[in-house]
Chain A
Amino acid sequence: MNRAQSPLGQPLDRVDGPLKVRGQARYAAEFDVPGLLYGAVVSSAIARGRVLRIDSAATEALPGVHLVLSHLNRPPIASYDEPYEDADAAEGSPFRPLYNDRVLYSGQPLALVVAETQALARHAASLVHVEYAAESHQTDLQAVREQAHPAPAEVPPPRGDFEVAFNAAAHRVEGEYGTPVEHHNPMEPHASIVQYQPGGELLIHDKTQGVQNCQRYLEQVFGLQDRIRVLSPFVGGAFGSGLRPQYQLPLAVMAALALKASVRVELTRQQMFTFGYRPRSIQQLKLAADGEGRLQAVEHQAIGQTSRFEDFTEHEVEWSGMLYACDHVRLGYRLAPLDVYTPLDMRAPGATIGVYALECAMDELAHEVGIDPLELRLRNYSEINGNQGKRYSSKELRACYRQGAERFGWSRRPAQPRSLREGHELIGMGMATGVWEAMQMPASARACIDADGKLLVTSATADIGTGTYTAMTQIAADAMGLPMADVEFRLGDSSLPQAPLEGGSATVSSVGSAVQRACAGLRQKLLDAAQQSPASPFTGASPDAVEFIGGRMCLKATQHAVELKRIVEVSGALESEAHVEPGEQRQQWATATHSAVFVEVRVDEDLGTVNVSRVVSAIAAGRIVNPKTAGNQIVGGVVWGIGQALQEETLIDHRLGRYMNHNLAEYHIPVNADIPGIEVIFVEEHDSVVNELGSKGVGEIGIVGVAAAVANAIYNATGKRVRDLPITLDKLL
């Protein structure tokens, strides 16, 4: 085997694929546990007020019902905020399930009915009658926008003099953009099984993006130090919905503690609309340019909704200060509390909506200046993140523009809207830039090799469908020079080495670096062990003098080689654990992934229906560990972006303070018939700063910019600028 055959960078199939297609991958609600009881949640019907009475007489009279749990009879839980603050907590006072009689939002869990079957629990829960003292509520961001307060976020300070530069510029555009509430809606509903162990320990199967986050949360909230282990080997999609411990988890723990029994709580699809979501936003953009289209002034002001108990913030306006070169920038971000649950990070949180507004405004500016939208971006290209004043560690966005435009055929786009037509259809083309952070978090991993030459690598990270199992196996196989089949990666167990939440496109960067470092340590131990044997040809060899290829350790100079398992047969199993902090070298640089998205739409001129007919997405994200799984990520992001542009919206009835389309028939996301061919290009990008792998992560970048490219293509087709998402057919009539 030579270096060219390293699994790194190969489009390999998912290592967990066979388990998944055979139905052998077990998800949180799918574990058989003897004596398992089932919980069903009773949700609030009002948005604000107090619970006066919970009448559960009819429920408790049913044979097989074991418990009706509420704030009146729950086990003790912590009474200060701190224990509830998980690794993704927002500023404020986190929600406490079944804490007291206060109703803070419609859909809030008020009781849990525990019974011997799932069907009985759900039926029994429907018989619980809750009496409320309702209070007046507010759920409409538009109605309270003037009362918004500054978000507790580090928004970059103003630079230059926006006002003067804006007013003096040759060309100006301004507009208000709106984006609705969206819910994550992963295919797998949130669920927890709490296995009550004979000694009172709890073994928990949970749907989560961070097993250790859930473990710590439960330890703190229930005072159960060292008695909780959380497992989550497979997750059926999460998109951010599993970043914070969701309420089914503490509810299941409460029931298990109260009954000293194992309990499962699984949310219904309707209840998947009763916790975090992408917040509604109102965004005002002002852009000004000189006669040649060079940006003179940029202002981006955003108002987001939050709950009354926490201030949820995301990176929404920062992008407008870093994506293009501009000396006069003013950014603002405010929040308006409503009688709703706290929003939650959702696929490229902040960027999905913030870059949407920026990139539509850029399209408007291109039209105003009279130059091609792609040319406008090139004229304002920046090698520096203007918010930080730092150069990008790498930024091959120009290559994205060039390769994406060529593959798409951007040069065939008519400059004048409404100039391409086929029958009833107007055809339009649009583009946008995408950007996301390239982060790294502290992470650990352990690598262990046995006498069969099998490598086991572990870390308490998650695979939420993103391909973590596969990517980590590739990184470890490459580092140890082992075939993929001899490497196993384990995750989703809180007892494994520490890992961050799986989110923000940082898992390959963070956990991958730890895996690489752990493997480096293991190579050293193998060399040390080989040197123990008398007359070893490796005696005195430095680590640099050996290489690991094809399951063997070789002396580079002589090509003398020994199989790794021969070393371990003598030494016994060897193990190495590594903890990696983000490198100090990162401090001097700005780090980000970029994309260029090109979209063609066909709009029925009479009927307003929009058909996205082609998409090309060119991505610069450093080294791509697995182009197949990474390609899946981008395609998934593009599909979601199309949904964001055209379909997705959680409808609230503000008089009831309640989401109304809380099911997958009425909450629209794209179906296959909505999705055209999507071409993904990974441009070559070398980066020695972001981490040792040179890999930036691709979970978020695929969605960013897509909605803007669709909206811009619709403008090119129809001459209509719709700034409020989603762009449904009625807005184009």
Chain B
Amino acid sequence: MTPFSYQRPDSIDQAIALAGADSRYIAGGTNLLDLMKENVLQPRRLIDINGLPLHDIEETAGGGLMIGALVSNADLAWHPQIEQRYPLLAKAILAGASPQLRNMASTGGNLLQRTRCYYFYDTATPCNKREPGSGCPARDGRNRIHAILGASAACVAVHPSDMCVALAALEAQVHVDGPHGQRRIAIEDFHRLPGEHPERDNTLGAGELIVGIELPGEGYASHCAYLKLRDRASYAFALVSVAAALELDGKTIRRARIALGGVAHKPWRIEAAEELLCGKRAEQQCFATAAERLLQGAQPLADNAFKIELARRAIVRALSEAAGGTVR
């Protein structure tokens, strides 16, 4: 670990004023510290934001919820409002990590998790995300866990978060503050595809700080499911995950939201696939059609072709479960 200085500001303004090119904000540190120990990241200054007033969950004027960036993943998942109104989010959070990690990890930090690509973590190997221009050994190497959608020649990594997959389906807004003031970013636009610049996971500007996540009023509480497929029953990242949310009128689908995890550099959502479901009866046939649309253009690598078929089946299963009513 490279030596660093450490500061703990009391206010958001102070924190932002401290930020610079070689600094990082730290909250739970569940990912950042691992990356620093392995010299994948070498910030010279850590700005500890745990003292900022971002620990609350409050109702918004629009009938949704505003989640402070420092609410822990555990507190968020077990919050009564989340359990009752946004069970999809609770399920997704509890499908990730371990109780110990969820106790430490923050809501804002969850959005900023780095990929679990083996090569990104090993400084003895090239990696365009870690060292732009050095190359991507994963593309022709060990890529069973890598992307089937939206990858580029430069990077085939996937985003590891479960929480973000649910946030994508729920159409959350990310509230940020920074040197140029406050703004909000649709979750859709927060994470980005790798393109030529895989070193950039998201669209945050320099020094910008996530202050909260806003959930809209609609939580699809009665018909949602989060299905995560992985190599063991707990404490493993998704090979494929599906957040499915339906608004039903009897058996007829009024609205559908589907997001995929483990398949791309960001939570994967295709509105056209969701529109295919609108007005249809909630049954296997149309679920399969939506799955086809979601996976359109999927490109397998040497070891991960199975993800396409797995995702197809997982989408159908998750939509079926959601249609059957949220399991509480």
List, in ascending order, chain A residues with CB within 8 A of B3's CB. Answer: 123
Q: Which single residue of chain A is at the shortest CB-CB distance from B306?
A: A730
CA distance A663 to B144 in the complex (A): 17
Chain B residues whose C-beta falls within 8 Å of the C-beta of A611 in the assembled complex:
233
B313 interface residue per 8 A CB criterion: yes
Q: Are A665 and B142 in contact (CB under 8 A)?
A: no
Give the residues in chain B near A666, CB-CB below 8 Å: 116, 118
CB atoms of B313 and A665 under 8 A apart: no
Q: Which residue of A lies closest to B39 (CB)?
A: A126
Chain A residues 70-91 with CB under 8 Å of chain B are: none
Q: How far is the CA of A493 from the CA of B14 in the complex (A)?
A: 57
Stretch at the interface among A17-25, A169-177, A649-657: A649-657
**Which of A607, A647, A663 interacts with B231 by CB under 8 Å?**
A647
B107-162 interface (Cβ within 8 A of A) = 116, 118-119, 121-122, 124-125, 137, 140-142, 144
Size range of the chain A interface in the assembly: 35 or more
Cβ–Cβ contact B310 & A607, under 8 A? yes
Which residue in A122, A608, A673 is a CB contact (below 8 Å) of B234?
A: A673
Indicate if A671 sits at the interface (CB-CB under 8 A): yes
B206 within 8 A of A: no
Asked if A674 meets B233 with Cβ closer than 8 Å, knowing A660-B142, A729-B310, the reply is yes
Among A611, A656, A733, find the residue whose CB has the most chain B CB atoms closer than 10 A: A656
Instruction: Please tell me if the beta carbons of B232 and A668 are within 8 angstroms of each other in the complex.
Output: yes
A119 to chain B, nearest CB (A): 6
For residue A46, which residue of chain B has the nearest CB? B124
Most chain A beta-carbon contacts within 10 A, residue among B3, B37, B232: B232
For residue A270, CB closer than 8 A to chain B, the reply is yes
Q: Is A670 an interface residue (CB 8 A)?
A: yes
Known: A607-B310, A647-B232. A270 touches B125 (CB 8 A): no
Which chain B positions have C-beta within 8 A of A661? 118, 142
Which parts of B216-268 form the interface with A (CB within 8 Å)? 229, 231-237, 239
B119 cross-chain contacts in A, Cβ below 8 A: 660
Q: Report whether B39 and A658 are in contact in the complex, using a CB–CB cutoff of 8 Å.
A: no
Cβ 8 A contact of A658, one of B2, B38, B125, B309: B125
State which of B1, B2, B309 has its C-beta within 8 Å of the C-beta of A733.
B309
The interface on chain B, measured as residues whose beta carbon lies within 8 A of the other chain's beta carbons, has a size of 34
Task: Write out, one digit per residue, whether chain B residues 1-37 have a CB within 8 A of any chain A CB (1) or not (0).
Answer: 1110000000000000000000000000000000001
A123 B310 Cβ-Cβ under 8 A: no
Give CA–CA (A123, B116) in the complex, Å: 23
In whole angstroms, how far apart are the Cα atoms of A119 and B37 in the complex?
9
Say whether A607 contacts B314, CB under 8 Å: yes
Within 8 A of B (CB), among A247-281: 270
- A12 close to B (CB within 8 Å): no
Given the known interface contacts A606-B317, A660-B118, A730-B306, the answer about A123 and B1 at a Cβ–Cβ threshold of 8 Å is yes
Cβ-defined contact, B38 with A651, below 8 A: no
A301: CB under 8 A from chain B?
no
Question: Would A662 and B239 count as touching, CB distance under 8 A?
Answer: no
A646 to B313, CA, bound (A): 21
- Min CB gap B86→A, angstroms: 24
Contact in complex: B306, A733 (CB < 8 Å): yes
Q: Which A residues lie within 8 Å of B317 (CB)?
A: 424, 606-607
Decide: B1 and A670 in contact? CB cutoff 8 A.
no
CA distance A407 to B142 in the complex (A): 43
Do A651 and B142 have beta carbons less than 8 Å apart? yes
Main secondary structure of the interface of B (DSSP, over half): loop
Report whether A658 and B124 are in contact in the complex, using a CB–CB cutoff of 8 Å. Answer: yes
Known: A270-B38, A653-B141. A670 touches B232 (CB 8 A): yes
A456 close to chain B: CB less than 8 A = no
Complex contact B313–A606 (CB within 8 A): yes
Evaluate contact between A728 and B231: CB separation under 8 angstroms: yes
The answer to whether B229 and A729 have CB atoms under 8 Å apart is yes
For B232, what are the chain A residues with a Cβ–Cβ distance below 8 Å?
646-647, 668, 670-671, 673-674
Q: Which residues of B, 270-328, contact A by the 8 Å Cβ criterion?
A: 306, 309-310, 313-314, 316-317
Cross-chain contact of B310 among A43, A674, A733 (Cβ < 8 A):
A733
Q: In this assembly, does A45 line the interface, its C-beta being within 8 Å of a C-beta of chain B? A: yes
Complex Cα distance A585/B208, Å?
78
Among residues of B, the one whose C-beta sits closest to the C-beta of A643 is B232
Known contacts A655-B137, A656-B141: does B236 contact A668 (CB below 8 Å)? yes
Chain B nearest CB from A203 CB (Å) reads: 30
- Report B-chain residues with C-beta under 8 Å of the C-beta of A665: 116, 235, 237
A260 to chain B, nearest CB (A): 28
Q: Which residues of A contact B2 (CB under 8 A)?
A: 123, 126
Of all chain A residues, which has the CB nearest B234? A673
Interface residues of B in 88-109 (CB under 8 A from A): none
The docked-state distance in angstroms from the alpha carbon of A606 to that of B288 is 13
Contact with A along B31-55 (1 / 0, CB 8 A): 0000001110000000000000000
Contact of A663 among B121, B125, B137 (CB under 8 A): B121
- Expressed in whole angstroms, the minimum distance between the Cβ of A397 and any Cβ of chain B is 32
For B37, list chain A residues within 8 Å (CB): 122
A609 touches B229 (CB 8 A): yes
CA distance A473 to B145 in the complex (A): 49
Distance, CA A122 to CA B239, complexed state (A): 33
Which residues, 674 to 733 on A, are CB-close (under 8 Å) to B? 674, 728-730, 733
Residue of B nearest to A126 (CB): B39
Q: How far is the CA of A119 from the CA of B36 in the complex (A)?
A: 12
Q: How far, in angstroms, from A670 to B317 measured CA to CA in the complex?
A: 25
Tell me if A411 counts as interface (CB < 8 A to partner B): no
Do A607 and B229 touch (CB < 8 A)?
A: yes
In the assembled complex, the Cα of A606 lies from the Cα of B229 at a distance in Å of 12
Asked if A559 lies at the interface with its beta carbon under 8 angstroms from chain B, I say no
A646 to B37, CA, bound (A): 30
**Distance in Å: Cβ of B323 to nearest Cβ of chain A:** 15
* A536 interfacial by beta-carbon distance below 8 Å: no
Is there contact, CB below 8 Å, between B233 and A607? Answer: no
- Say yes or no: B233 contacts A656, CB within 8 Å: no
Q: In whole Å, how far is A272's beta carbon from the nearest beta carbon of chain B? A: 14
Q: Which residues of B contact A652 (CB under 8 A)?
A: 142
B324 CB to closest chain A CB, in angstroms? 12
Interface flag for A672 (CB, 8 Å): yes
Closest to B227 in A: A607
Q: Are B124 and A45 in contact (CB under 8 A)?
A: yes
* With contact pairs A123-B3, A729-B239 given, residues A655 and B140 touching in the complex (Cβ less than 8 Å): yes
CB distance from A136 to the nearest CB of B (A): 17
A155-173 near B? 1/0 per residue, CB < 8 Å: 0000000000000000000
Check A672/B234 contact, CB under 8 A, given A607-B317, A655-B137, A655-B140. yes
Chain B nearest Cβ from A165, distance in angstroms:
41
Candidate in B122, B125, B309 with the most chain A CB atoms within 10 angstroms: B122
Bound Cα distance A673, B236 (Å) = 12
B310 touches A608 (CB 8 A): yes
A424 / chain B contacts, CB cutoff of 8 Å? 317
Of B142, B144, B306, B314, most A-chain CB atoms within 10 Å: B142
* Cβ contact within 8 Å between B118 and A119: no
Q: Among residues 604 to 658 in chain A, which have CB atoms less than 8 Å away from a CB atom of chain B?
A: 606-609, 611, 646-647, 651-653, 655-656, 658
User: How far in angstroms is the closest Cβ of chain A from B44?
Assistant: 12
Q: Hey, which chain B residues are within 8 Å of A126, CB to CB? A: 2, 39
Q: Is the CB of B137 within 8 A of A653?
A: yes
Residues of B within 8 A of A122 (CB): 1, 37
Please name the residue on chain A nearest to B2 by beta carbon. A123
Nearest residue (CB) in B for A45 is B124
Residues of B within 8 A of A653 (CB): 118, 125, 137, 141-142
Expressed in whole angstroms, the Cα–Cα distance for A646 and B118 within the complex equals 20
8 intermolecular pairs with C-beta atoms under 8 Å apart: A651-B118, A655-B141, A660-B122, A660-B125, A665-B116, A666-B118, A671-B233, A673-B232
**Nearest 8 pairs between A and B by C-beta?**
A45-B124, A673-B233, A730-B306, A660-B118, A673-B234, A653-B141, A606-B313, A674-B233
Other contacts beyond A123-B2, A668-B232, A730-B239: 19, CB < 8 A? A43-B124, A270-B38, A606-B313, A606-B316, A607-B229, A607-B313, A607-B317, A611-B233, A646-B232, A656-B137, A660-B122, A660-B141, A662-B122, A665-B116, A668-B231, A671-B235, A674-B234, A729-B229, A729-B231
